[in-house]
Amino acid sequence: MPLCTSRQLVPTKELLQKALKGKYALGAYNVNNMELLQAIVEAGNELKAPLILQVSAGARKYANQTYLIKLVEAALDSSDIPIALHLDHGEDFEICKACIDGGFSSVMIDGSKHPFEENIALVKQVVDYAHPRNVSVEAELGRLAGVEDNISVSEKDAIYTNPAEAKEFIDRTGVDSLAIAIGTSHGAYKFKGEAKLDFERLAEIQKAVGDDFPLVLHGASSVPEELVKICNDNGAEIKGSKGVPEEMFSKATQLGVAKINVDTDLRLAFTGGIRKVMKESPSEFDPRKYLGPARAAVKEIVKHKIKVFGTDGKA
Ligand code: G3H
Ligand code: 13P
Ligand code: ZN
């Protein structure tokens, strides 16, 4: 369904193909409410960066898909950068269809919990519905789990993406991008010991799928110590958190990663911003007085991400 604005959303396929050629990546930022959306879009506007806004099933339930789409229409009207609206971790055909019918320009069908053949059949069903409507499709192969330091080779093989399977999966589904498992995981506690990603496997995956196919890194927040500290100094209890070191992103981008998913870091920035006002001004009860600083903190972290991922000036 076309949106009620003169500017339209861009399919992620277009943005990711361009990013692959330029060897940079697009951040895909999770949106749950107006303040997060405004923060992300203002950051993109200021740095002339194309953006992927992503909405999870939980975000749809929390905010209502129609509200989110109307907010995104407002964002399009108040910006001049390319923007994609993407469903994050759609678990079945129905949710993908609802998002495509509602105007999203991209969906993720996450069949990673299913056996290989079932995952393929599900993804193919979504691709067949999405492509004639000019909507891009992301799928996932492998499992994003918190990984122990001493994981064995056979355990790793069972969890991480297999390069030959990735190639077959792409050929048989016609999917536009693929989320791969190489050691990242969702949330603020990604590594028990040292942060390690399996770059050798990533290189093998890229070799198998070709350097013109975009790969996606989920669970890619860096969990910056400064943001955790602001939360903890203001009453939070976040202990033992660890994210993906920033220097790993340029390596990933050189090996075919063109989309990097970030949610946790935005949550930390937003929560820190609110907590600080709550602690410093306990008599304050105007939501604008704490949501405003929280929005500003998210904008700062998104600007930082845009620079780290090399997306600035690419709009
Ligand atoms: O990968 C998951 C994203 O961080 C979205 O999280 O399902 O709590 O909205 P959520
Ligand atoms: P983080 O939890 O690392 O931010 O990952 C978010 C994500 O992958 C959303 O799909
Ligand atoms: Zn994810």
> What local confidence, expressed as pLDDT, does residue 2 receive?
75
- Nearest ligand, measured from the Cα of 266: 2
* The predicted structure's pLDDT at residue 94: 98
Instruction: Give the closest residue (by CA) to ligand 1 atom 5.
Output: 56
pLDDT of residue 158: 79
- pLDDT the model gives residue 290: 98
Name which residue sits closest to atom 7 of ligand 1, judged by CA: 58
Between the CA of 282 and the centroid of ligand 1 the distance, in Å, is 30
pTM surpassing 0.85? yes
For residue 55, the ligand closest to its alpha carbon is 1
**pLDDT number for residue 60:** 98
Walk me through the domains of the chain, giving residue ranges and CATH numbers: 12-305 (3.20.20.70)
Q: Which residues are registered as beta bridge partners of 260?
A: 27, 217
pLDDT given at position 150: 65
Kindly give the parts of the chain with pLDDT less than 70. 146-150
188 Cα nearest atom in ligand 2 = 2
- Give DSSP secondary structure letters for 242-300: B---THHHHHHHHTTEEEEEE-HHHHHHHHHHHHHHHHH-TT---HHHHHHHHHHHHHH
Give the pLDDT of residue 240: 95
pLDDT of residue 152: 75
What is the per-residue pLDDT for 144?
87
The residue whose two tokens read 């993720």 is 108
pLDDT score at 7: 85
Whether the CB of 187 sits within 6 Å of ligand 2: yes
Is residue 3 within 8 Å of 72, Cβ to Cβ? yes
